Structure 1
Amino acid sequence: MYPTIQFIHSYWAYLTLIVLLIAAVNAIVGYTSNKEYGATNFRLALFSLITSHIQLLIGLVLYFLTPSFQVLMEQGMGEVMKNSTHRLYLVEHPLIMIIAVVLITMGYSKHKTKLTSKPKFKILAIFYTIALILMLSRIPWSAWF
């Protein structure tokens, strides 16, 4: 079961990153070019929110199935923090990804309260871009390709 969940988590990550990148670039372009916020912009923001939440749920399931989790349970957090690989998979990656999904959720929620296009794009641009940068910073690139 672990390899299947890991496969899904890895490939859903591509979709999540692509959609988040498109949504962030769309928000930046919309903000800088004074475009009107429309249904397509709303759908991009929403789809980014949905894909990131699905990725988070898959990741949480994977977290408790990973063999590294057994190391945490048997040897404790002290041993995990000494090993850079275990620290990445058990602490850094999950924590930063949760923070990124929270930022996406906050940006989506805050942008809905704005009444005009420019503030909507600004909120999405800020929150989605920071979330994208955080996600890119904690992807285990060596294991991903």
Structure 2
Amino acid sequence: MYDFIQKFHSGWAYLALLVLVVAVVNSFIGMSSKKEFTSKDRKIALFALIAIHIQLLVGIILYFVSPLGFASFGQMADKALRLTSLEHPLINIIAIILITIGWSKHKKLVASESKFKTFSIFYGLGLLLILSRIPWNMWF
């Protein structure tokens, strides 16, 4: 069971990151070109939100069944264990909160430029935080 969840978490991460990058790039392009915010733009941001939340749910399950997660919480002297048991989950939860705030804020806005700007800021910050805490040595 653990192996399947771990492989799914690692594999889904590629898709979730790709969709999030597309959403951030789309929001920057929309903001800089001053184009109209369409349903296509909303769907791109929504798919990124859904993909990231699925990644969070799988990650929470993995955290409690993994020997590198909650079980190794007391071993903070080891950098690799600290990354997987504390830094990676905490920073990614903060990033997902920022992405969710960006989604919620855009619904209250009317102007297209404001919507693109909101997505650029919140999704962009979320993406940067996620990229900063990925255990890159486990990816390749």
Q: Which range, TM-score by smaller chain?
A: over 0.9
Q: Which runs of 5+ in 1 are unaligned?
A: none
Structure 1 distance, partners of 2:83, 2:72, is 13
1:81 offset after TM fit, Å? 1.4
1:133 offset after TM fit, Å? 0.7
Q: TM-score, normalised by structure 2?
A: 0.97
Q: Which runs of 5+ in 2 are unaligned?
A: none
Q: Which of the two has higher C-alpha Rg?
A: 1
Which one-letter code corresponds to 1:48 in the other structure? A
Structure 2 distance, partners of 1:71, 1:98, is 19
Match of 2:6 in 1: 6
Match of 1:114 in 2: 109
1:2-81 alignment to 2 at 5 Å? 2-68=2-68, 69-72=70-73, 77=74, 80-81=75-76
Which one-letter code corresponds to 2:90 in the other structure? L
Match of 1:126 in 2: 121
Which one-letter code corresponds to 1:61 in the other structure? I
Q: Between Structure 1 and Structure 2, how many residues are aligned? A: 139
Structure 2 distance, partners of 1:34, 1:64, is 45
Q: What is the aligned-residue identity percentage?
A: 52
For the aligned residue pairs, the C-alpha RMSD in angstroms reads 0.8
Which one-letter code corresponds to 2:16 in the other structure? T
1:71 offset after TM fit, Å? 3.0
- Relative to its length, the structure with more helix (as a share) is 1
1:82-93 alignment to 2 at 5 Å? 82-93=77-88
Residue by residue, what CA displacement relative to the aligned partner does 1:67-114 show, whole Å, maximum 9, x if unpaired? 123333xxxx3xx21111110000000001101110110000001110
Structure 2 distance, partners of 1:84, 1:135, is 18
- What SS does structure 1 have at the residue aligned with 2:34? coil
Checking the alignment, whether the CA contact within 8 Å between 2:24 and 2:120 is kept in structure 1 is yes
Q: TM-score, normalised by structure 1?
A: 0.93
Checking the alignment, whether the CA contact within 8 Å between 2:72 and 2:85 is kept in structure 1 is no
